[in-house]
Structure 1
Amino acid sequence: MTTTLLISDLHLHPSAHDVTEGFLHWLDSRAHGADALYILGDFFEAWIGDDLLDHVDHDPSGYAALAIRVAAALRKRADAGTAIYLMHGNRDFLLGHRFAAAAGAKLVTDPAILRFADEPVLVMHGDSLCTRDEAYMAFRSQARNPAWQEQILAMPLNDRIKLAANLRQQSGEATSNKAEDIMDVTPEEVLRTMRDHGVTTLIHGHTHRPAVHEIELDEQPARRIVLGDWQPGKGWEVEIGPDGDPVLRQFAL
């Protein structure tokens, strides 16, 4: 039996012990035997560069120790036969090939088209769909610029740790002052994206609003499946079995 699991928005953080332990248990139990696992962004709450893995003894943020432990767990699952794929989110857009290699994973582009039962399914983090949030879209364009990323990664490690903390604080303050609809997807952008990629099924995260939306695309039935964010005590997944039908599920950690 072929099984693919998709998750998103774990926001792993050194102080989020419950979520980390819950994920590691999920990886050893629920994900055991899965053919593929796709992590659709915001796996970590922040990521300041793969060279962090060299500084586990000199990292006041605690991310290095967390990343090494998580990478080892993913590598164990990959070595057992599960193909693991990582997609960038708006929090961990600096996640690189070195971490992916340590985790036995592959980085995939955002968006990506997968095929199940001969039907295409579009998967993405989802932040690019929130076009009404103009301030964020401007930051996203900057953050995905290779030249800007190179400039950030050239900064001393401690400066990057401070920058990540400042960006998290600014993001929280900005979010608290924005209308709810601005932070959600733009319906017209959803339809345009699905139409451009020739799909009737879209799976994404980012908005933390888990749901299955039945929509109409050019007079054809379509659906948008939104993964939820992981919190202490609960997680979200989409499971796709041999029949190719995605199932959104909440479960206890």
Structure 2
Amino acid sequence: MLDFNHLLTTRPHSVQQILISDLHLSADEPALVQAFLALLDDCLALPALSQLYILGDWFEVWLGDDMYTELDDDAKAAHWLTPMVKRLKALRVAGCDILVMHGNRDFLLGRPFCHLFGARLIAEPFYNDIGDTVVRLEHGDALCTDDVKYQWFRKVTRKPLVQWYFLKKPITKRHDIADKMRAKSKQQNAQKSAAIMDVNNDAVQQALQNAALLIHGHTHRPAKHEVKTTTSAEHVLSEHKWRYVLGDWRVIDAGSKRAQVQAVIAAVTEDAGSTALDLYQFCHRVR
């Protein structure tokens, strides 16, 4: 795994795009919040950075934009999200596009919040070109098709009418509902096999029909996988493609002097006309 800090110190002018996922930020995890702020400071120092992608589960839970956008000025000034909003706005002013995708925990994230710092809310799957390579971006939960119960839940909660009804409820009621749903999900996941909660190979093959490279998060199993695609009719190997899995943000050695936040992120670099995508280990020492 390549080291992100080494990239920043040796080739800062080559970094064109950064892709992250599964930060699971909340007021209860200040170390994760501080690590993300540190990454944004790094982004602000990159002269050629043109795009920052956040591929879902940016937040541990998101119960509606109004939880922040409708606060008065004093409440916003003291809110844990405000330093993040300010840095993201500065990044956008500096010319970097910020593209945000829903995850399974923050699918209620809306345009009003994203508009505070000029971000674009993108639907999955989202296609992009890296050099001459067509890339498909998504959060990753839709690829876990073996988890039938979750896929049903996902389908229901993405319905606009269901979301409208939920967002009409008072914020305290939304918190109660979300707490019960998380407790139930945690109990159910404890009874599921690891294989069920990973991506399904057929779903990956389908996702790569119109792309040579797939980037996602969700599974918390960061790695670079070679995917051997086959033609559906003859079941013959047709070409090799790639799947990049971004890693979740987590605190390592919490409570000790060695405590740090680690994550696996992706970066697109360009040197001498050659474009490359690689996974990098991002580390931030907790202070």
| TM-score, length of structure 2 as denominator length | 0.82
Aligned partners of 1:31 and 1:129: how far apart in 2? 33
Runs (4+) of structure 1 moved beyond 3 Å?
Answer: 55-59
- Per the alignment, residue 268 of structure 2 pairs with 240
Q: Is the 8 A contact 2:127 2:134 kept in 1?
A: yes
CA drift of 1:31 comes to: 5.4
| Bigger Rg, which one | 2
Q: 1:226 to 1:58 in 2, by over 3 A?
A: same
Task: List runs of 5+ in structure 2 lacking aligned partners.
Answer: 1-13, 231-237, 252-260
Q: Per-residue displacement from partner, 1:102-131 (whole Å, max 9, x unpaired)?
A: 122110111100011132100000000000
CA drift of 1:221 comes to: 1.0
- Per the alignment, residue 220 of structure 2 pairs with 208
Q: Is the 8 A contact 1:200 1:217 kept in 2?
A: no
- Per the alignment, residue 170 of structure 2 pairs with 156
- Per the alignment, residue 88 of structure 1 pairs with 102
CA drift of 1:215 comes to: 1.4
Aligned counterpart for 1:52 among listed residues 61, 67, 73: 67
CA drift of 1:30 comes to: 4.5
Aligned partners of 1:91 and 1:56: how far apart in 2? 26
CA drift of 1:81 comes to: 1.7
Pair 1:124 & 2:138 matched: yes
Higher normalized helix content (fraction of residues): 1
CA drift of 1:162 comes to: 1.4
Aligned counterpart for 1:222 among listed residues 238, 241, 250: 241
Aligned partners of 1:56 and 1:182: how far apart in 2? 44
Task: List runs of 5+ in structure 1 lacking aligned partners.
Answer: none
Q: 1:101 to 1:65 in 2, by over 3 A?
A: same
Aligned partners of 2:267 and 2:83: how far apart in 1? 25
Equivalent position SS for 1:183: coil
Aligned partners of 2:105 and 2:199: how far apart in 1? 17
- Per the alignment, residue 3 of structure 2 pairs with none
Aligned partners of 2:96 and 2:72: how far apart in 1? 27
Equivalent position SS for 2:242: strand
Equivalent position SS for 2:28: coil
Equivalent position SS for 2:224: strand
Q: Is the 8 A contact 2:15 2:267 kept in 1?
A: no
Give the fraction of aligned pairs with identical amino acids, expressed as a percent: 37
CA drift of 1:58 comes to: 11
- Per the alignment, residue 19 of structure 1 pairs with 32
CA drift of 1:73 comes to: 2.0
Aligned partners of 2:276 and 2:117: how far apart in 1? 28
Whichever residue aligns with residue 52 of structure 1, its letter is M
Whichever residue aligns with residue 150 of structure 1, its letter is W
Which moved further from structure 2: 87-96 or 46-55? 46-55
- Per the alignment, residue 203 of structure 2 pairs with 189
Whichever residue aligns with residue 140 of structure 2, its letter is G
- CA-based RMSD: 1.9
Q: Map of 1:142-181 to 2, 5 A cutoff? A: 142-181=156-195
